[in-house]
């Protein structure tokens, strides 16, 4: 019971809920009717009334529930978002609970969600090869023409996002099957098809479904397919290990260099600007010394979490040193600010992020430390501030030090802003 | 400081349907607004909430906070607009709401008939209230009857 009570603020409910569910919650609650009201509550909450969780009745979420989650997280990325309903199809929610859940279960789920490591739902779908410029269509054979093992290797090296479809093409070509597909569960196997589990060791890769083979043939080709899918998975995992920072989940310095080089080339051909921000946490060493390395680690994780909630879909966060980070603002067409020009939008994002950090709550620093963590940063924009990776990063770095000289908790955008 | 190009000291959010974004961009440029364009009411609400936080921050640093304006362009049939307006009225009442009419910004709520409370505030002379009455008004009970 103590564990359940160990939360830090209010729980907001939006929509219709059973009175007993709300009455059974011992921490402060507030019920409103719409998502707009929730945003209003988040915007007007004082620093001492942190919102722990937002529980949404599923009926409030329209077809485009992702937009609703985006809107809520823009205003406050910290609360756990819970959807109460029956469909469980909201990927961007932190938790889904059935409508008839109890207060105790709901609170336990919220506490559990808060103790989870940073969720990175986009990582599964993120095309690291595309971001790093590894994809090279010219080195792969056109689909379905005399494919062989060597084509699979080429796909792994030069176009991994097409690997699975090439594997299917090759299977069809080699076997003459009328139909073959990968599915996730047996309910999706057509009644007239054979299927084989795709498993390599303990790793599940789904199910191979085919119309044409005998059961024995399907199993034999399934084993062959599993080996390739395992190789594909491990290849991807190794790339992620090479380019990601384990503590924060952000990309690392190697990724920054490779991605920035590619983005500059794209910016040159599209004749568009490209901005990079470098920032660090002011006096980070003192948090490590005073509160321990766990507290320092928490600050780093939370800062990255905040940043990921602030930036746009195509932007990248990289941890490039102990407490030093870089943000690549790559999104060429900001989806939600179509009318604003690129640099202005980025200045706004950077300022918003700095403010969010300064208001953030870090549980390992204790209650009184809220508002003590700040960041200083510098922005540099291609082509005005540099046309190469090194010159652009150097300029952003210079502006970061400019911010430090001007008393920290500042983001320097250009000389005249300082 | 960098010279701001906009001549209106206001941060704005423009709400317009998706198909009207291009036209809205032109209007924003013509009016020289410092604006974020949204085509979804819920995202407009969150941008306005963030602008409120910026205003509070400006105020805390003693710099003059900018006004916050919501401009509605062809937005009257957008789903969720009534909820947005209701929530703004309740939570962010200092957001000014304007619509485009005849190529010009017009306040959605015409306050010209409202009494200007800064000048000649009305004085209300209340009759004196005794302790019993006050208790009844506050608690709905009379003194001595509550246990």
Q: pLDDT tens, A370-412? A: 557 888 889 898 888 888 899 999 999 999 998 888 877 777 7
How does residue A55 score in pLDDT terms, banded at 50, 70 and 90?
Answer: very high
Q: Do residues A229 and A348 share a domain?
A: no
Q: Is the pLDDT of residue A258 over 50?
A: yes
**A293 within some domain:** yes
Chain centroid to CA A118: how far?
9
pLDDT of B3: 35
pLDDT of A67: 83
Decide if B36 and A337 are in contact by the 8 Å CB cutoff.
yes
Q: Is the pLDDT of residue A179 over 60?
A: yes
Decide if B36 and A43 are in contact by the 8 Å CB cutoff.
no
pLDDT of A14: 92
Q: Is B78 on the interface with A (CB under 8 A)?
A: no
Percent above pLDDT 90 for chain A: 18
Q: pLDDT by residue (tens digit) across A268-301?
A: 887 778 889 999 988 888 888 888 888 888 888 8
Of residues A361, A158, A324, the one with CA closest to residue A245: A324
Q: Do residues A261 and A409 share a domain?
A: yes
Between residues A333 and A230, the one the model is more confident about: A230
Between residues B98 and A337, the one the model is more confident about: B98
ipTM above 0.90, yes or no: no
**A94 within some domain:** yes
Mean pLDDT lowest for which of A169-178, A218-227, B29-38?
B29-38
The C-alpha atoms of residue A147 and residue A306 are separated, in whole angstroms, by 46
Domain endpoint, select from A205, A222, A243: A243
pLDDT of A272: 79
**A9 within some domain:** yes
pLDDT of B76: 85
Q: Per the structure block, which two tokens stand in for A386? A: 């540099």
**B129 within some domain:** no
Decide if B2 and A414 are in contact by the 8 Å CB cutoff.
yes
Decide if A340 and B42 are in contact by the 8 Å CB cutoff.
no
Mean pLDDT of A300-306: 85
Mean pLDDT of B91-116: 74
Q: Do residues A26 and A132 share a domain?
A: no
Cα A232 to Cα A156, A210, A224, B100, distances in angstroms: 7, 21, 13, 55
Q: Residue A61's closest chain B neighbor by CA?
A: B42
Between residues A115 and B97, the one the model is more confident about: B97
Closest CB to A355 among B2, B35, B57: B57
Domain endpoint, select from A116, A149, A169: A116
The structural domain count of chain A equals 3
Give residue B24's domain range.
10-107
**A248 within some domain:** no
The C-alpha atoms of residue A133 and residue A131 are separated, in whole angstroms, by 6
Between residues A334 and B97, the one the model is more confident about: B97
Q: Which CATH number fits the domain that encloses residue A28? A: 3.40.50.2300
pLDDT of A239: 85
Domain endpoint, select from A82, A116, A150: A116
pLDDT of A342: 40
Q: Is the pLDDT of residue A5 over 50?
A: no
Provide the edge-to-edge strand list for the sheet that holds B104-107.
B34-38, B10-15, B67-72, B96-101, B104-107
Q: Is the pLDDT of residue A190 over 90?
A: no
Percent above pLDDT 70 for chain A: 83
pLDDT of A222: 92
**B72 within some domain:** yes
Mean pLDDT of A247-261: 90
Q: Is B143 on the interface with A (CB under 8 A)?
A: no
Q: Are strands B96-101 and B104-107 parallel, antiparallel or unpaired?
A: antiparallel
**HEC letters along chain A:** CHHHHCCCCEEEEECCCCHHHHHCCCCCEEEECCHHHHHHHHHHCCCCCCEEEEEEEHHHCCCCHHHHHHHHHHHCCCCEEEEECCCCCCCCCCEEECCCCCHHHHHHHHHHHHHCCCCCHHHCCCCHHHHHCCCCHHHCCCCCCCCCHHHHHHHHHHCHHHHHHHHHHHHHHHHCCCEEEEECCHHHCCCCCEEEEEEECCEEEEEEEEECCCHHHHHHHHHHHHHHHHHHHHHHHHHHHHHECCCCCCECHHHHHHHHHHHHHHHHHHCCCEEEEEEEECCHHHHHHHHCHHHHHHHHHHHHHHHHHHCCCCCEEEECCCCEEEEEECCCCCCCCCCCCHHHHHHHHHHHHHHHHHHCCCHHHCHHHCCCCCEEEEEEEECCCCCCHHHHHHHHHHHHHHHHHCCCCCEECCHHHC
**A160 within some domain:** yes
Give residue A210's domain range.
128-243
Q: Is the pLDDT of residue A326 over 90?
A: yes
Q: Is B30 on the interface with A (CB under 8 A)?
A: no
Between residues B99 and A358, the one the model is more confident about: B99
Q: Is the pLDDT of residue A145 over 60?
A: yes
| Cα-trace Rg, chain A | 25
Mean pLDDT of A223-233: 92
CA distance A204 to chain B (A): 39
pLDDT of B70: 92
Cβ neighbours of B91 in A, within 8 Å = 37, 39-41, 43-44
Cβ neighbours of A43 in B, within 8 Å = 49-50, 52-53, 91-92
Q: Residue B5's closest chain A neighbor by CA?
A: A344
pLDDT of A7: 44
**B19 within some domain:** yes
Q: Do residues A222 and A311 share a domain?
A: no
**B112 within some domain:** no
Q: Do residues A316 and A388 share a domain?
A: yes
Mutate to test the interface with A, among B91, B93, B95, B100 (most CBs of A within 10 A): B91
> pTM of the prediction?
0.53
Q: Do residues A285 and A390 share a domain?
A: yes
Mean pLDDT estimate for chain B: 74
Q: Do residues A287 and A315 share a domain?
A: yes
Enumerate chain A positions whose Cβ falls within 8 A of a Cβ in B: 34-37, 39-44, 62, 64, 67-68, 70-72, 74-75, 336-340, 344-345, 348, 351-352, 355, 413-414, 416-417
Mean pLDDT estimate for chain A: 80
pLDDT of A221: 92
**B141 within some domain:** no
Between residues B142 and A374, the one the model is more confident about: A374
Q: Do residues A278 and A409 share a domain?
A: yes
Q: Are strands A194-200 and A203-211 parallel, antiparallel or unpaired?
A: antiparallel
Mutate to test the interface with A, among B22, B42, B80, B85 (most CBs of A within 10 A): B42
**CB-based burial, B113-138: b 16+ in 10 Å, e otherwise:** eeeeeeeeeeeeeeeeeeeeeebeee
Between residues A44 and A88, the one the model is more confident about: A44
**Residue A86 backbone class (left: φ over 0; alpha: ψ -120 to 50; beta: rest):** alpha
How does residue B139 score in pLDDT terms, banded at 50, 70 and 90?
Answer: low
Q: Residue B26's closest chain A neighbor by CA?
A: A339
**A122 within some domain:** no
The structural domain count of chain B equals 1
The C-alpha atoms of residue A34 and residue A61 are separated, in whole angstroms, by 10
Q: Do residues A156 and A85 share a domain?
A: no
On whether the CB atoms of residues A154 and A134 are closer than 8 A, the answer is: no
Q: Which CATH number fits the domain that encloses residue B68? A: 3.40.50
pLDDT of A268: 85
């Amino acid at each position: 019971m103590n564990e359940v009570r160990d939360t830090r603020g209010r729980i907001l409910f939006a929509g219709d809920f059973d009175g007993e569910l709300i009455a059974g919650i011992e921490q402060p609650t507030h019920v409103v009717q719409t998502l707009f009201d929730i945003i209003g509550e988040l915007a007007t909450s004082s620093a001492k009334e942190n919102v722990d969780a937002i529980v949404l009745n599923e009926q409030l979420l329209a077809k485009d529930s992702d937009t609703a989650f985006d809107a809520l997280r823009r205003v406050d990325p910290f609360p756990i978002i819970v959807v109460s309903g029956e469909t469980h199809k909201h990927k961007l929610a932190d938790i889904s609970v059935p409508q008839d859940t109890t207060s105790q279960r709901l609170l336990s789920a919220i506490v559990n969600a808060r103790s989870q490591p940073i969720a990175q739902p986009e990582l599964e779908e993120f095309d690291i090869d595309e971001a790093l410029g590894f994809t090279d269509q010219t080195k792969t054979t056109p689909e379905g023409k005399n494919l062989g093992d060597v084509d699979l290797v080429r796909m792994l090296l030069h176009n991994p996002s097409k690997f699975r479809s090439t594997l299917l093409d090759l299977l069809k070509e080699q076997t003459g099957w009328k139909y073959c597909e990968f599915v996730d569960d047996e309910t999706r196997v057509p009644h007239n098809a054979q299927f084989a589990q795709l498993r390599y060791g303990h790793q599940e890769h789904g199910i191979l479904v085919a119309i044409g083979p005998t059961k024995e043939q399907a199993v034999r080709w399934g084993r062959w397919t599993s080996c390739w899918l395992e190789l594909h998975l491990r290849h991807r995992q190794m790339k992620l290990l090479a380019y990601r920072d384990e503590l924060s989940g952000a990309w690392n310095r190697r990724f920054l260099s490779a991605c920035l080089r590619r983005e500059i080339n794209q910016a040159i051909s599209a004749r568009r600007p490209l901005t990079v921000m470098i920032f660090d946490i002011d006096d980070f060493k003192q948090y490590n010394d005073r509160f321990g390395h766990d507290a320092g680690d928490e600050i780093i994780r939370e800062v990255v979490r905040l940043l990921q909630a602030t930036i746009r879909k195509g932007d990248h966060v990289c941890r490039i040193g102990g407490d030093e980070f870089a943000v690549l603002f790559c999104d060429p067409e900001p989806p939600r600010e179509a009318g604003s020009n690129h640099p202005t939008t980025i200045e706004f994002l950077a300022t918003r992020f700095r403010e969010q950090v300064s208001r953030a709550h870090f549980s390992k620093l204790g209650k009184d430390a809220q508002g003590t963590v700040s960041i200083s940063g510098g922005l540099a924009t291609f082509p005005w501030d540099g046309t190469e990776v090194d010159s652009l990063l150097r300029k952003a770095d210079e502006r970061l030090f400019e911010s430090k000289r001007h008393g920290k908790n500042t983001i320097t955008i250009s000389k005249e802003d300082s | 400081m960098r010279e701001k190009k906009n001549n209106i000291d206001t941060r704005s959010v423009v709400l317009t349907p998706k198909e009207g974004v291009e036209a809205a961009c032109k209007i924003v440029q013509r009016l020289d607004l410092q604006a974020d364009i949204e085509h979804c009411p819920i995202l407009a609400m969150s941008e306005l909430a963030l602008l409120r936080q910026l205003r509070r921050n400006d105020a805390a640093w003693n710099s003059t906070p900018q006004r916050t304006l919501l401009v509605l362009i062809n937005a009257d049939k957008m789903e969720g607009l009534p909820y947005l307006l209701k929530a703004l009225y309740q939570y962010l009442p200092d957001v000014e709401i304007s619509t485009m009419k005849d190529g010009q910004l017009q306040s959605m709520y015409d306050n010209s008939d409202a009494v200007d409370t800064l000048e000649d505030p009305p004085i209300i002379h209340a009759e004196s209230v005794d302790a019993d009455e006050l208790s009844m008004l506050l608690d709905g009970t009379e003194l001595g009857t509550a246990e």
